Amino acid sequence: ELKTLEARLDIAQEELDERTIKAPFDGVVVRKFKEAQEVIAEDDPVLQVMEVDRLKLQFYLEARLLPSIEIGQEQAVRFPALPDVPEM
């Protein structure tokens, strides 16, 4: 009985692996095109993922804030136009 349960577990794990979506890079989901339990075709977009380690930002800063900024300093970033994107 144990061998049968282990075999069923292996099959279930294989099925789960086949249905798991993985990006080839670290990133953040910025848009969902489909919801859980929706039927999709092979070429249907499901998610849009933004690669965060390659993100380049251009911004404007008030001159009075310059003394508080240092080269290499980490800073949290929010995108008001993308409210579902977590702060990075």
Average pLDDT over the chain, rounded to an integer: 86
Q: What's residue 45's pLDDT?
A: 92
Q: What gap in Å lies between CA 59 and CA 54, rounded to an integer?
A: 16
Q: What's residue 2's pLDDT?
A: 93
Backbone angles phi, psi at 14, to 5 degrees: -60, -45
Check whether 5 has a pLDDT greater than 90.
yes
Its pTM stands at: 0.49
Show the CA angle centred on residue 80, arms to residues 78 and 81, nearest 5°: 125
Give 23-65 pLDDT, tens digit per residue.
Answer: 888 888 888 899 888 988 888 999 988 887 766 778 888 999 8
Of 71, 24, 76, the closest CA to residue 51 belongs to 24
